[in-house]
Amino acid sequence: MEYQRTVADKVIFEGEGIYSGKEIRVEIHPLGENEGIVFERSDLPHRPRIKLSLKNAIALEGAVLLTDGTHEITLIEHLLSALHGLQIDNALIRVFGEEIPLLDGSTLLIVRKIQESGYRLLPAARRKYLLRKPFSMENGVGRIKFKPSSRLMIHATINFDHPVIGLQSLDFTATPRDYINEISFARTFGFKRILEERKRQGIIKGGNLSNAIVLDEEKVLNKEGLRSKDEFVRHKILDIVGDLFTIGYPLVAEIRADMSGHKLHLDALKTMYEAGYLEEVESRALTFLWVPKRKRSPI
């Protein structure tokens, strides 16, 4: 049996919200079996909670928002990617603000914090969605195809008319070890002219070169450069892993994504779910990666 798991202890990270410009604290707390991923607006008087589900997820331009119709939390996709990538099935996410901090634009810090906490196995089989029929969707810019599979595999392609990016493709088979080593370090990226325009319009109030890869027309502006030549497509896979988790359980399928974005990902998931293409199952294969809680060195 492949058991559900949660974090072994409270995980805390903080950072500036790029939309609000405010310093925001996020806490990840353990939850019991079959509780799922639950977000809480801990900065509000009644601490409203929002369960992670497709019906509560909305794709924005460059982000995913979770809402119960009254309260909302923006930029959840990177945190979801870390939880999905590390196979965390149950957790309470306490957010002291209206968005998840972008941090360095990757999930590396969140992954390291969760590794420091360790994982706790729970006495219940993991629940997953199996894809029963092939499905494809496109939106004029991007395309995404889903095929039945025995494990989650993602092939992503991006193509930007920029000398640093160009055409990039990567294959990824989802395991915690490969997520940690191959995907978690990849940062989001943006173009200087677009970011400056959004700041002028007041769409974003925070953010700087420490939160993303920023490019002008010719080069990367970050002094440290890239973490890998194909960091851009690796981050695309990071986003896909996060967006897939909006369905609430891991999805088992083979996916080919070509210039896809958050809206296409969520539209495809909602269409497949409503059309009955997905079957909920309990996992019986023992394939989890055990990461023990690390001992801290004395100060």
User: What is the SS3 assignment for 231?
Assistant: helix
φ and ψ of 72, to 5 deg: -150, 155
Q: In this structure, are residues 259 and 158 in contact, taking their beta carbons and an 8 Å threshold?
A: yes
139 in the Ramachandran plot: left (φ > 0), alpha (ψ -120 to 50) or beta?
Answer: alpha
Among 78, 235, 262, 265, the active-site one is 262
The SS3 of residue 180 is helix
Residue pair 56/68 in contact by the 8 Å Cβ criterion: yes
Expressed in percent and rounded to 5, the helix, strand and coil fractions of the chain are 25, 35, 45
> Strand 72-74 and strand 189-191: pairing?
unpaired
Contacts of 258 by beta carbon, 8 Å cutoff, 6+ apart: 142, 143, 144, 156, 157
Please say if 235 is a catalytic residue: no
Question: What crossing angle do the helices spanning 231-244 and 77-85 adopt, rounded to 10°?
Answer: 90
Closest residue by Cα to residue 18 from 215, 216, 186, 199: 199
Strand, helix or coil for residue 236: helix
Look up tokens 């010719």; give the residue: 218
Write out the catalytic residue numbers: 262
